[in-house]
Amino acid sequence: SRFKLTLIKNAEAIFAPEVINAKHILVGGTQVVGLLDDQAAAAIEAMSSDISTRIVDATGCIVVPGFVDIHVHITGGGGELGPASRTPEAKVGEMLEGGLTTVVGVLGTDCVSRSLENLLTKCRGLNEDGITAYMWTGAYRIPAPNITGSVRRDICLLEQCIGVGECAISDHRGSQPSSERILDVASDCRVGGLLSGKAGVMYCHMGFGDGLLQPLWKAMKESDIPITTFLPTHMERSEALIEDGARWIRKGGYVDFTCRTVKARLALRKYHQEGLPMDHVMVSSDSYGSLPSFDDDGNLVRYTYGHPKAFLQFIWKMYFQEQWPLDRILPLVTKNPAKFLKLKGKGEISVGSDADVLLLDKNTLKLKSVLAKGEVMMPPKWVHQGMFGTPNPEKVGSKPKRSH
């Protein structure tokens, strides 16, 4: 049977993502229903057998919100070296092992063998599998491919669609769009957001081109489209792009860094030292997307793909190497993207928020357990793998047991 209540007890600390004055969390259904003191938690535990409450012991762990990753190639990506170089599609178990409880699926270079219909269906499957999945319509190409006839209609009519992307800007793999074409997509996206109550964001893949953010600056200068309609990603590409990103933030914009490089960590340090508003900065993983490296002539010299454990590695490096406190690191992968993209109930731990929760070892930050939408998806020694995975041994042939 499914547990209706879960008590997460004895956390060393709870980051919501800011530190809060509570050590116990009560989950009811898919939501957090209480942040408890010791007395209240003890009372719930005393009644646990009578009210079918699962107990998750967080002793030795800190509790943080589930990660919100706005850039995951859930149907696979790549293809820049031909059909054999297409990367594998996402597996729910691998994403859970990386702490990802909310993802936004995206297409990239290949919108021929990879389709938006497949992306939408994969989103629906992941939602059935227990995590939360959204999608960007479109791809690198502008005009943006879509499902229902326009970007605006996709955002309005497809529940999972929150915007358009990743549209390639200043990249030789893009369609070299004019300002007029960028504005066509951006305006359609913005109105779609207004009509649907969604973010309506144009998610822009920034390449290595010398143009930097200039195509977006030019489009805004020629229109009334607000800067917050655009979200440029891969902003760690070069020092010049990082500097252009700082200017972008000072004008009220938001930026997204891919978490995998030293350049990204140095850029975050720079922005913080310069006093930029860090709530305008977020980090994504580009998981399952190709990670190509090009020489000065644009030739591909190295090729791999991203693994969804990148966020855990990023947090470890920011904490242990950069010496950042967790309440400065965690918003980059939780609250900031969730708030900007209007993902209600995501990216925080509060009464009424979705019960997407991670338990991390207090000393090593190793991921110990995952709850997604109130379900324990990764207790010790097992991880939910979806329909074709091994069933949870706690739910097969025995009564539910406590998780330690």
The catalytic site residues sit at 286
Residue 138 and residue 118: Cα distance in Å, rounded? 13
- Could you check whether the bond before residue 17 is cis, i.e. omega within 30 degrees of 0? yes
Amino acid residing at 357:
V
Instruction: Report DSSP letters for 267-280, one per residue.
Output: HHHHHHHTT--GGG
In the 8-state DSSP scheme, what is residue 403? B
Q: How many CB atoms lie within 10 A of CB 49?
A: 9
Q: Using alpha carbons only, give the angle 276, 282, 286 rounded to the nearest 5 degrees.
A: 145
Nearest to 69 by CA among 309, 334, 299, 307: 334
Instruction: Look at the alpha carbons of 381, 384, 389, 391 in this order and tell me if their dihedral is positive or negative.
Output: positive
Instruction: Name the token pair of 243.
Output: 């500097």
Instruction: Name the token pair of 404.
Output: 């330690």
